[in-house]
Amino acid sequence: MRPLKTLKKLYDDESHIITTEKGSPPRVMFYGEDFWVEDLPVGTRVICARPPLEGVPNLKAAIRYAINHPEGMDPLHALLKPGMKVTVALDDISLPLPPMKTPDVRQAVLEIVLELLADSGVDDVHLVIANALHRRMTEAEMKRMVGQTIFDAYYPDRYYNHDAEDPDGIVELERTSHNEVVAINRRAAESDLVIYVNINLVPMDGGHKSVGTGLTNYESLRAHHNPQTIRDSDSYMEPGRSQLHRSTERIGRVIDQHCKVFHIETTINNRMFEEPVGFLMKKEEDFTEFDRLKLQSFKYALSKMPRALKRKMFFNIYAPYEVTGVFAGATEPTHQKTLEMSWKQYSVPVQGQSDIVIFGMPYVSPYNVNSILNPLLVQVMALGYLYNLNRGVPLVKKGGVIIFTHPCYDEFDPEHHAPYIEFFNRLLPETRDAVKLEHKYEREFAKNPSYVHLYRKGHAYHGAHPFYMWYWGENGRQHVGKVIAAGAENNHVPAIMGWDRTDTLSEAIEEARGFMGRGASISFVKIPPILQTDVRL
Amino acid sequence: MVPLFERRPDLERAGVIRVWLFDDSATMVDQCLGPSMNDEVVSFITGEVEAELQRRWISKGRAVRYLHDWRSITTYEAHGRERLIEWGKVSKAHTAEAAICLSRSASAFIRIAAVTGVAVLRMLRIPISVVDDLEPLLAPLRSRRAG
C-alpha cells in the first residue's frame, strides 16, 4: 500500500485533470461576453485550476509583518528619515483581472505605508502609477484603487500616472552590459527611496519588471519588448525560462544600483468570481441543480442584451480575491517568495502535451479593462497569455492546433486603442511578420505625434503598444501549426490574423482533427480561474 | 461626383478637390473627389487653400468655419494625416468650427483616422466633429451670395 503522503500527492496532482467520458457533463466556457456550454469529445483532457488558497487571516497584520521583516533589506521604518523624498509606485489597472472588490489590496498597503511615512516625518511623498506605455488611468479608476481618503489627500498633484513621453520626466541611467537602455521616471530616480506596491496576478509580473518596465519609456522597453526576445522565451510566465525576464533583470539590477527600491509584493488567490456567477469557479461535475439554473438564466439574460450592455455588466463584476501573501524587501529575494506562492496557486501538473488545445476566451485582458477586447487583444490572449500559461513547456505540441471561442468582432475602442486600429487595418494586411513590422513601422507609430498626444493627454495606449501585443503572441505563433477561431462572426478578422474560423466548436474540433489526425489528443483548459500548466514530458 | 454648389469652385484641382469660399460667414467648404487623402490633397489644403484663407479672412482677424466633405476618401497616407492634424493645431486661434463628413459606409480604418485627429484637436479645445451628413451645414450657404 502506498504511504498516505504519496497518495495525497497523487490526488493533488490528478484531481485537477478530468478525462471526458460518455456521460461527462458539458463544459462551460467563455465566448467573449457570452457563455458556451459544449460537449467535448470522449477522451478530451479537461485541465482545471487548483481551488483558491486560503487568504491571510489578517491582511493589515500581514502587511505590517512583511515591511517589518523584509527580505534582504532593513525594515521599512529603519529606512525612513524626516525630510526625505519618497516615491510610491503602484501597479496599474491591468492587474488583477477581473478588477478586485474594494478595498483594493494596493489601498490596504498604502494605508499602512503612508501612515508610517507620516509618523516618520516624511512629507515629500508622491504616488505614481507605473503604467509604462499603458493608457493613463481615469480619475474614477484612480479613486477606486486607493480609496477616497488617500485620493483626496494626494490627487492630482501627488498622485498621478507615469508619463513615458514627458521629455523632462525621464532620466537615463547607465546602460546594461548588453547595451540595453535603462531609463526611469525622474521623480523616482531622484527620490531617496522608492517603494513599489505590486499586486501579482501571474508570475510574469513583479520583481525587476516592476520598476524596469512600469516606470520607463519606449527606448528602454525596446530592449525586451521585441519579437526576438519573445521567440527566445520558452514561456514568459516562467521567469527562469524567459529571455524577457533576463533582460528586465539586467535592467533592474542597474536601477537597484542607482536607486533604493523597497518592494512590497502581494499575491492573491484565484477566487475570480462569486455569486451570481460562482458556477464559473466549479468543475461541471460539482454543479448543483441551482448552479445549472443560474447558468441557464444567465445565458438567457445575456442572449437578450446588446453586446455593449453585456460588457458593462461584466465589468461591474468584481473579483472577491483574497490576499495569500505579502512579501517585502529587496527585489530578488522578495520576488522569489512571491513566485513560490504564485506557483502554489496556479501550477497544475500535466502529463504530456496535446495535439489540440481548446481555450474559452473571456471578455477581458490586461489591456481592455472597461473597454473592448478588440481583435489584436483576442490575438494576445490566444497566442500570448493563454498559450504562455505554462512553465516552459507549452501544453500544445509543436505544430499543433489552438482552438479558442470568441466572436472576433471587428470593434475597437477609439479612446483607448486608437493606434491598434491603424495597426490592424493598415499594417496586418501588408504583413504578419513581427520582425518586419518592428523594423518598418514600430518607430513610426511610437513617434506619431497624434498617438503621443492621445497617450499623454487622453486615455490611449501608446503608439508602440499594438506592436507589443503582436510580439506577445510571437512564440505561440511560431509554435503552433494552426489557430481556429470557433464562433468567429465574420471572415475578415480571422483572415487578417491568419486563422481559420468555424461556426461551432464541434466544427473546429473536426477541422483540427483533420489537420492533426483522427487520433489527435485534445485538452481543454478550463479558465477561469487562472491556472498554469506544468507539463511533464 | 456632383458638385456641392451650383457655382464654380473658388479653388480647384481637377479630379482631386474642389473648394468654395463664403465671405459673409467666413466658411470654407472642400469636397474631395478621389479615394485617397494623399500628399497632393493635403498639400493643396494646407498650401494653396490656407494661403487664400489667410489673405481673405485670417489676416483680417476673422475666424473660419471649415466644412470638409471627405465622403469619397477610402484610404490615406499616415504622413498626410499628421500634416492635417498639425494644420488643425496651428489653426486653433482662428477656427470657429470644423466638421469632417465621412461616408456612412466608411471603413473603421478611415473613421479612426478622423476620430484620432478629432480627438487630438478637441483636447486642444478646437470645436471639431465628425459627421455623416453635411447638409444641415451646407443648406444655409446655398441661399447666400457667394464670396
Looking at A418-432, A487-501, B132-146, which range is the least confident one?
Answer: B132-146
pLDDT band at A7 (very low <50, low <70, confident <90, very high): low
Is position B5 within any domain? no
pLDDT of residue A13: 58
Is position B126 within any domain? yes
Q: What is the sign of the dihedral through the CA atoms of A372, A377, A382 and A387? A: negative
Instruction: State the total domains in chain B.
Output: 1
Q: What is the sign of the dihedral through the CA atoms of B101, B103, B106 and B110? A: negative
Contact A181, A250 (CB under 8 A): no
Gap between the Cα atoms of A188 and A215, Å rounded: 8
C-beta atoms surrounding B20 within 10 Å: 23
> Are B109 and A421 a contacting pair at CB < 8 A?
yes
* Mean pLDDT, residues A474-478: 97
Work out the minimum CA distance from B98 to partner chain A, whole angstroms.
18
pLDDT of residue B55: 97
* Mean pLDDT, residues B60-72: 97
pLDDT of residue B115: 85
Residue A265 has pLDDT above 70, yes or no: yes
Is position B146 within any domain? no
Contacting residues of A for B86, CB less than 8 Å apart: 449
Contacting residues of A for B123, CB less than 8 Å apart: 453-454, 457-458
Can you read off the three cell numbers belonging to residue A519? 487520433
Contacting residues of B for A412, CB less than 8 Å apart: 108, 112
* Mean pLDDT, residues A262-268: 98
Half-sphere exposure of residue A309, counting CA atoms within 13 Å on the CB side? 6
pLDDT of residue A375: 97
pLDDT band at A525 (very low <50, low <70, confident <90, very high): very high
Q: Which CATH architecture has domain A59-268?
A: 3-Layer(aba) Sandwich (3.40)
Contact A303, A32 (CB under 8 A): no
Contact A206, A196 (CB under 8 A): no
Residue of B nearest to A416 (CA): B116
A490 touches chain B (CB under 8 A): no
Contacting residues of B for A426, CB less than 8 Å apart: 78, 109
> Are B115 and A448 a contacting pair at CB < 8 A?
no
pLDDT in tens, A160-179: 999 999 999 999 999 999 99
- Per DSSP, A528 falls in state S
* Mean pLDDT, residues B67-94: 92
Can you read off the three cell numbers belonging to residue A82? 524626516
pLDDT band at B142 (very low <50, low <70, confident <90, very high): confident
The minimal CB distance from B119 to the residues A412, A426, A458 is found for A458
- How many A/B residue pairs have CB atoms within 8 Å? 48
pLDDT of residue A300: 94
* Mean pLDDT, residues A515-524: 97
| B108-123 and A414-422 helices, crossing angle to 10° | 130
Contacting residues of B for A410, CB less than 8 Å apart: 108
Contact A270, A320 (CB under 8 A): no
Owning domain of residue B27: 11-141
Gap between the Cα atoms of A526 and A48, Å rounded: 5
Is position B16 within any domain? yes
ipTM of this complex: 0.72
Residue of A nearest to B117 (CA): A450
Give the list of residues 6+ apart from residue A447 with CB closer than 8 angstroms, or none.
Answer: A463
Q: Give the whole-number percent of chain B exceeding pLDDT 90.
A: 76
Which CATH number characterizes residue B118's domain?
Answer: 3.30.750.24
Residue A6 has pLDDT above 90, yes or no: no
The minimal CB distance from A426 to the residues B82, B109, B116 is found for B109
Class level of CATH domain A4-51+348-536: alpha beta
The minimal CB distance from A422 to the residues B112, B120, B123 is found for B112
pLDDT of residue A254: 97
Contacting residues of A for B112, CB less than 8 Å apart: 412, 414, 418, 421-422, 425
Contacting residues of A for B129, CB less than 8 Å apart: none
> Are B123 and A444 a contacting pair at CB < 8 A?
no
- Report helix, strand or coil for A134: coil
What's the one-letter identity of residue A448?
Answer: N
> Are B78 and A448 a contacting pair at CB < 8 A?
yes
Strand order in the sheet with A159-161: A159-161, A124-129, A85-90, A193-200, A261-268, A323-329
pLDDT of residue A414: 87
Continuous H helices in A306-432 = 307-314, 331-346, 375-379, 387-388, 414-422
Measured CA to CA in angstroms, residue A66 lies from A90, A115, A266, A329 at distances of 17, 16, 10, 8
Looking at chain A, which residues constitute the CATH 3.40.50.11440 domain(s)? Answer: 59-268
Contacting residues of B for A418, CB less than 8 Å apart: 112, 115-116, 119
Work out the minimum CA distance from A402 to partner chain B, whole angstroms.
28
Residues A96, A101, A106, CA angle at the centre, nearest 5°? 60
The minimal CB distance from B117 to the residues A410, A412, A450 is found for A450
Residue of A nearest to B81 (CA): A450
* Mean pLDDT, residues A276-285: 93
> Are A422 and B85 a contacting pair at CB < 8 A?
no
Residue B146 has pLDDT above 90, yes or no: no
pLDDT band at B66 (very low <50, low <70, confident <90, very high): very high
Contact A362, A528 (CB under 8 A): yes
The minimal CB distance from B107 to the residues A418, A425, A451 is found for A425
> Are A450 and B115 a contacting pair at CB < 8 A?
no
Q: Give the whole-number percent of chain A exceeding pLDDT 90.
A: 95
Q: What is the DSSP code string of A271-296?
A: ----TTSGGGGS-GGG--HHHHHHHH
pLDDT band at B116 (very low <50, low <70, confident <90, very high): confident
As a whole number, the mean pLDDT across chain A is 95
Q: B interface mutation test: which of A374, A409, A427, A453 has the most B CBs within 10 A?
A: A453
* Mean pLDDT, residues A182-200: 98
* Mean pLDDT, residues B51-75: 96
pLDDT in tens, A428-448: 999 999 999 999 999 999 999
Residue A295 has pLDDT above 70, yes or no: yes
* Mean pLDDT, residues B37-63: 96
A414 touches chain B (CB under 8 A): yes
Give the list of residues 6+ apart from residue A508 with CB closer than 8 angstroms, or none.
Answer: A358, A403, A484, A486, A502
Residue B41 has pLDDT above 80, yes or no: yes
Residue A70 has pLDDT above 70, yes or no: yes
A412 touches chain B (CB under 8 A): yes
As a whole number, the mean pLDDT across chain B is 92
> Are B113 and A410 a contacting pair at CB < 8 A?
no
Contact A83, A121 (CB under 8 A): yes
Residue A14 has pLDDT above 70, yes or no: no
Cell 470557433 found at: A486
Looking at chain A, which residues constitute the CATH 3.90.226.30 domain(s)? Answer: 4-51+348-536
Work out the minimum CA distance from A25 to partner chain B, whole angstroms.
41
Gap between the Cα atoms of A136 and A58, Å rounded: 32
Contacting residues of B for A446, CB less than 8 Å apart: none
Is position B120 within any domain? yes
The minimal CB distance from B108 to the residues A410, A444, A453 is found for A410
Q: A interface mutation test: which of B73, B75, B116 has the most A CBs within 10 A?
A: B116
pLDDT in tens, A29-47: 999 999 999 999 999 999 9
Gap between the Cα atoms of B29 and B142, Å rounded: 12
> Are A454 and B82 a contacting pair at CB < 8 A?
no
